Structure 1
């Protein structure tokens, strides 16, 4: 724990630690940082398995904060063995639920490019869950610390 903030120190995985865990070929093929809170609070957030899969795919294309991912619906559909219309319908529902925001891109003559997907809404939605998770974790650590340090004298 950090003494200044009384919160657990954050361990950021390095390329080296990820490679030790998964091996060089897998790591070199690419990896994505996924917040555990997204997985652990999936049910609470109302995210079903297909929606989570779509979000994981979108996250795998989100390399930098300011550059929104923009895979095509067809690319996502092929990766998950579902139809592009299923992807479109589910993304529309996730947008209505406040998990993401679609940004349409138009070219000249009313032609479309792939949508951009703003996932900062998801980040904002996850933050209070993460804060709650940290509070619960800290309370558990404190209870264990008190249990371990409180010794009762036993009379002979």
Structure 2
């Protein structure tokens, strides 16, 4: 066996173990049935900065719903507008309008999927959203890093040694 093979194999084992530990942690929080029914990995910075990005609560719900269909980088989500609308209890036209706005803002890019038989559901790309939110993510990482350094510095500061101070009467006191 080559060194590279062993490193890749060990890395894969470690990653699988980390995924399983994360899943168990989430099961403790959300319960096993909820996690077994499906879960979503989503950058919290998008939720935190939705207002700064100009996203409405409906936009966030649409993005979250689309993200539930996006499990690998190369397989973009492609649910129908009707499917999204039913899940969010709105009309397909509402979904169409909000996606058009997010597309105009550059957050989502629609890709038409056509076959010889006709149109299929659109694929949705989040490249624009990722690009726009990345500076906020970098800023948050820097803030967290600075906060950690300050906390570490406070913990490492040497505390002054206590000493007994004589009282004015000449007797030792505190």
TM-score, normalising length from structure 2?
Answer: 0.74
1:80-112: per-residue Cα shift (whole Å, max 9, x none)? Answer: 111111101110110111111100112336x32
Structure 1 residue 151, shift from structure 2 partner: 5.1
Bigger Rg, structure 1 or 2: 2
Unmatched segments (≥5 aa) in structure 2: 1-17, 166-174
The residue number in structure 2 matching 1:149 is 156
Hey, which of these two has a bigger chunk of helix by percent? 2
Structure 1 residue 20, shift from structure 2 partner: 2.2
The residue number in structure 2 matching 1:59 is 67
| SS state at 2:51 partner | coil
Moved over 6 A (4+): none
Higher relative contact order (CA 8 A, sep 6+): 1
Rounded to whole Å, the distance in 2 between the matches of 1:22 and 1:95 is: 33
RMSD: 2.1
Match of 1:122 among 129, 148, 156: 129
- Alignment length (residue pairs): 145
Matches within 5 A, 1:17-96: 17-96=25-104
| SS state at 1:104 partner | strand
Unmatched segments (≥5 aa) in structure 1: 1-10
| SS state at 1:31 partner | coil
TM-score, normalising length from structure 1?
Answer: 0.82
Structure 1 residue 143, shift from structure 2 partner: 2.3
